[in-house]
Each structure stands twice: as structure tokens, then as C-alpha cells.
Chains A and B, each alone.
Chain A
Amino acid sequence: MQDALKRFFDGDIWWSFKHNKLVMIAFVIAVLCVFASAFAPLVAPHNPFDLKTLNLLDAFTPPAWAANGKAQFLLGTDDQGRDVLSTIMHGSRVSLLVGICAVLLAMTIGITLGLISGYVGGSVDAFIMRVADIQLSFPAILIALLIDGIFKLLAPKLSAFLASAGLGTINQDNVSIAVLIFAIAASGWVQYARTVRGSTLVERNKEYVQAARVIGRRPLSIMFSHVLPNVLGPVLVLATLHVGTAIITEATLSFLGVGVPPTQPSLGTLIRIGNDFLFSGEWWITVFPGLALVILVLSINILGDWLRDALNPKLR
């Protein structure tokens, strides 16, 4: 363990991290964001979903530094008197959760299909890649919107079916979050599949794979325990950058009113709600969640960009 740590701190990645101020700042901000959202119930100054502590008299309080601002509401309050800073913390929790889960799911789908496509080849490969080509010619947001829309329409039918079969009821809100995660994942698997397929095509002819084949390992186990570890590098870079995109997609869908349910507002939902008060002068309700979204995504993108360069020996 100590050996591995020493190797890491002597290695190129740590060196390039140490010598890049922008990346260090982005890293600190990203860690702070993740921390603040993961522990939102503990860290947030107020609990925005506890109706007992809400006071309508506090509604529309401007940020603390503005005239009429109150010190206990640093970034002001919204139309129901909820502290904007606390709703942002709880909101980024939902945003990050949906974003990361969607990326993990997209990775799983993409890696599996890419491995199969590259390793098996033939008509299976042709079919998967054709589907990927076609999907790639449409914007991801459109595909996510479509899948989300269709499954939302199907959800009531499904739960009615489950209820009639005596399997109990499912929580509608959880279903729509799951649908959202699936929609974002389904719109983003193609890149993983293409990358993994490309590297698999190279790896499958190497000697270690042939050796594994000769000693009689089955194709599935060769794919996942031999080829997979050797094609993961580029996938990790893709995944980091994809988290940013996935968070933006989630925010966009929620902004359009088809994303997460209103009981669990994400950053996109907060921006949509605040948008209604833009014209009456309460700009902080929408601007601060918006800034939080930009800072979160920007820091993740900077980290992803840096990781791509740091892991690419050609650019050194």
C-alpha cells in the first residue's frame, strides 16, 4: 500500500497535478461541491423541506449583503421562505446523484456492448455499430427527452399493472428519477461502446489474449477479466467528462419540466422555479442555482480535460 502511494506521488499524474494551479483550484471546488451536497442535511444552514421551520414572512428575502437582507439567509430566500443556499446544497445532491448514476449505467451498457462488438465481430459488431451510428446522428438531449417522455407515459400503466397483480405500489417519484437516469444513460452509451470496441480490436490479437484462449478460458471471462482492464484508461477520461454533460442534461430536462419530480428539486428544477420570479426583481432565486450549476460543471470539465492530457503520453 505504502509502495503504491509512493509510486503515485512520484508519478507523472501527481507531478502534472502539482504544477497546474487551475486544476488544483478546480479539484478543491469539485471536492467542496461533492462534500456539501453529500452531507447537505448536516451542513446546510436550514432544512428547506422541513415545513415547520419555514416562515412565509421570510419569503423573497434578498441576499445578505443587499438592502433588507438577513444574515441568516446568506443567498436570500425563495417564494416559500426557503433558504436558497440550503436548497442549492440539496439540489446539487440530486443533480450529482442522477449525473453519476447515469454515467455508471451508460458506462456499463457501453463497455459491455463495446467488448462484445469488438471481441465477437461479424454481424453482431455491424449491428451494434450501425445502431450507434444512427443514435450518434441525433443530439443526446433529444434522445433523452424522448425516452423520458415515453417511459413517463408508461409508468402509470406499469404501476397499475403491479397494483392489480398484488405486488404493491411503487413510489412514483423514485420511478421518475430512475427513468431519468436511464434516459440520460441511454443517450450516452455510444461513446463508451465506440472507444472500448476500438481498443478491444487492438487487444484481442495480442499474445496474452491468445494465451488465455489456448488454455481454454471462455470468451466472456476473457472479455471481462483480461481485455477489460486493458481498455479502461480512455473510458475513465470519457466518464469524467461525461459526468459534466450528464449533469447538464439532467438540469436541462428538469428545466423543461420533464426531469426530476418537484418533491426532490435538482439544480435545474430550482432554476425553472426561480425563472418565474425573474421579472418581479427576485433574481437571486434563479441566478445562484445557475451559478452553482456552472461552477460544478466547469470544475468537473477542467478536471476531465486535465486527466485526458495527463493520461495521454503523446501530449507530454
Chain B
Amino acid sequence: MLAFIIRRLLQSVLVMLAVGFIAFSLFNFVGDPVSLMLPPEATTADREAVRKALGLDDPFYVQFGSFLGNALQGNFGISLRLGRPVSQLIAERLPATLELAMTAALIGLFVGIPLGVYTALRRDKWTAKAILTTSLIGVSLPNFLIGIFLILIFAVWLGWLPSFGRGDVTQLGLWSTGLLTASGIKALILPAITLGFYPVTLIMRLVRSEMLEVLRTDYIKFARARGLTNRSVHFGHALKNTLVPVMTITGLQLGGLIAFAIITETVFQWPGMGLLFIQAVQFADIPVMAAYLCLIGLIFVIINLVVDLLYYAVDPRLRIGGGGTGGH
């Protein structure tokens, strides 16, 4: 057990070091920090002085070490485009992205699970088949197109919902939330549906196939033989057993949602981290790119680590092989 956890932790640290190295290379090789900081008319002597002051003539590993030290303290320098500390920018934008991703995940669960159960139990009805076909089209539809079509219908033609921004936000200490005002909730609806579309189809298909599998097993037949009601068999016995993989997939998808929020945020001009990142890519704003990269890497590593450890706790088979081949 302990050996597995330590190995997994070590692997996570290695991944983070690799991510940190990419971010560091962004700073030092892609962008030239000296010319970023000095006016164009600076002399060579000025450049040398700055180079020395920044420690750029230190050996490579010293520079990398100090970069990691700064990154651990959340210090990524100053945004070239906005002229403000990157950590401050990200802290401002983080709540918007997290609220969007969480809402999308909840939509995925609360729409995907019932649809999955329905299509499994009524698999021969035409409604179930229609839902499945729609989900296939949904998978072929790029995320940003769903957003554009939703905007066209609900914002342009019907005029019911706003198509950009977050509405009015309330400041709760460091956290700015749009969930407490009517305009904030209205602004959240379309982006959350857009981002939640893929998890809905994914969870629905997963629940459906797991349900179909479980309904064939002996203990379900036995439960029926005992004379339990359909409801109790379907929801008490069958659904409960499908939920473990659903939880895992939802957990793993959460990181994907935060990354895919880049697209949704661009469509809806949602002021989150993703929009900040894509603007940074367009303007070659390297400090913001590096910081976003490290943050998203950290989120992914933590999610994967937690899911792996949970798997280990839930699935006794993994314990026998002494960790086996790791988590995947």
C-alpha cells in the first residue's frame, strides 16, 4: 500500500517537474527575458547588467531551481499584455472558470444519469433510440459550434438569455461569484449547457452500457425472483452498482472540463482563466502562458492522483499485485 502511494506520488512529482521545465523553457528560450524588460534603446552594458541581476548567467540548474522556487510561491512575474502580476490575474479569473466547470459537471451528472437509466430500461422505445442518435450527433459537433447555435437561438432570435460575460457578480472575500444575482445565473445558463453537453453524452452512454451489463447479472435475477418491485431492482440494486465507474469518469472529466472551458469561454467571452490563456497565446504573453500551464498541470496531476488512490481504496484486486503497472 505504502509503496504504491509513494510510487504514485513520485510519478506525480516527476510530471510536475516536466511541466515546470516546459514552462521554464517558455520563459528562457522562446521569450528573451532581457529584451522583455528593457526599452529597445538600451545599451549592451545595460543588457549585461540586467542579465547579471536576473541571474541569467548562472548555470542552467541554478536558474531552473530558482524558477521552481518562484513558481512554488505562485510568483510568475508580470503579464506583458496587462502589466499586472500574473498570480493576481489568475486569482481573479479562477472563480469564474471553476463555477462554470462545476455547473457543467453537475449538468452532466443530473441530466446524463437519468437519460442513461432511461435509455437502458426502455432500450427498444423510439424515444430512447432518438436520444442515442442525438448523442451521436452531439459527439460529432465541435464544442464551439454548440455554443454558437445556442447563442443564435436563445440570445439572437429569442432574446431570452445574454450571450456574453458573467452578469453581475458578488464579491465574497477573494471569491467573486455570479450565482447570487439573477443576471449572473442567467449568464451562466448558456455557457454551462455548452460545456456540459459532452459530459452529458459521455455519462449517459456509460450509465446505459453499465446498466445493461448489470441487469443481466444473477443477483438482479435473484432480486426479481424475490419479488422486489421494479423500482427497487432498478434503482436500489442496478443503478447503485453503475455509480463507481461514473464517479471515476466524472472526476477525470473535471480536469478536461477546465481545459475545454478555454473554448466555451472564448465563445461566450466568459472572463475566466481560459479566456486569459487564449489571449495570452495570441499576444505571446509568456508569463501568463507559463503560469496557466503550471496550474492546469497541477490540477490534472492532483485529479489523476486522487482518482488512482480512490481506485486503490475501492478495488481490492489492485492491492494483490503490489501496485501492478500503476494506475492506468
Contacts and interface: CB of A to CB of B under 8 A. Distances in A.
Interface of A: 133-134, 136-139, 141-142, 145-146, 149-150, 153-154, 244, 248, 251-252, 255-258, 271, 275, 278-279, 281, 283, 286-287, 290, 293-294, 297-298, 301
A149 B281 contact: yes
Given A154-B30, A252-B144, A283-B152, A139 B263 contact: no
A6 B309 CA distance: 55
A293 B148 CA distance: 13
Contacts of A294: 137, 140-141, 145
Contacts of A153: 30-31, 284, 286
Contacts of A145: 262, 281
Contacts of B141: 294
B30 A258 contact: no
Interface of A is mostly: helix
B140 A278 contact: no
Given A142-B262, A149-B289, 17 more contacts: A133-B326, A149-B281, A153-B31, A252-B263, A255-B263, A256-B262, A257-B278, A258-B281, A275-B148, A275-B267, A278-B148, A278-B152, A279-B156, A290-B148, A294-B141, A297-B142, A298-B137
Nearest to A289: B145
Contact of B156 (A244, A271, A278): A278
Interface string B283-309: 010100100010011001000100000
Contacts of B140: 244, 248, 294, 297-298, 301
Contacts of B30: 150, 153-154
B95 interface: no
A271 B144 CA distance: 9
B160 interface: no
Query: Residue among B30, B163, B289 with the most chain A CB within 10 A?
Result: B30
B260 A248 contact: no
A287 B289 CA distance: 32
B250 interface: no
A56 to B, nearest CB: 25
A290 B149 CA distance: 9
B229 interface: no
Contacts of B22: 146
B234 to A, nearest CB: 27
A171 B108 CA distance: 45
27 contacts: A133-B326, A138-B297, A141-B259, A141-B262, A142-B259, A142-B296, A149-B281, A150-B26, A153-B31, A154-B30, A252-B143, A256-B262, A256-B263, A256-B278, A258-B282, A271-B144, A271-B145, A275-B148, A275-B267, A278-B152, A290-B148, A293-B142, A293-B145, A294-B140, A294-B145, A298-B137, A301-B140
Interface residues of B, number: 42
A139 B199 CA distance: 14
B13 interface: no
Given A146-B293, A278-B148, A283-B156, A134 B15 contact: yes
Interface string B17-60: 01000100010001100000000000000000000000000000
B242 to A, nearest CB: 23
Interface of B: 15, 18, 22, 26, 30-31, 136-137, 139-145, 148-149, 151-152, 156, 163, 255-256, 259-260, 262-263, 266-267, 278, 281-282, 284, 286, 289, 293, 296-297, 300, 304, 326, 328
B151 A278 contact: yes
B327 to A, nearest CB: 8
B296 A290 contact: no
Contacts of A271: 144-145, 148
A256 B328 CA distance: 32
Contacts of A290: 145, 148-149
A136 B256 CA distance: 11
Query: Residue among B31, B266, B293, B326 with the most chain A CB within 10 A?
Result: B266
A200 to B, nearest CB: 17
Contacts of B144: 251-252, 255, 271
B127 to A, nearest CB: 19
Contacts of B328: 133, 136
Contacts of A141: 259-260, 262-263
B91 to A, nearest CB: 21
B259 A134 contact: no
Contacts of B304: 137
B298 to A, nearest CB: 12
B300 A138 contact: yes
A136 B252 CA distance: 11
A62 to B, nearest CB: 15
Nearest to A295: B140
A294 B289 CA distance: 31
Contact of A137 (B18, B143, B300): B300
Given A138-B259, A150-B26, A294-B145, A256 B266 contact: yes
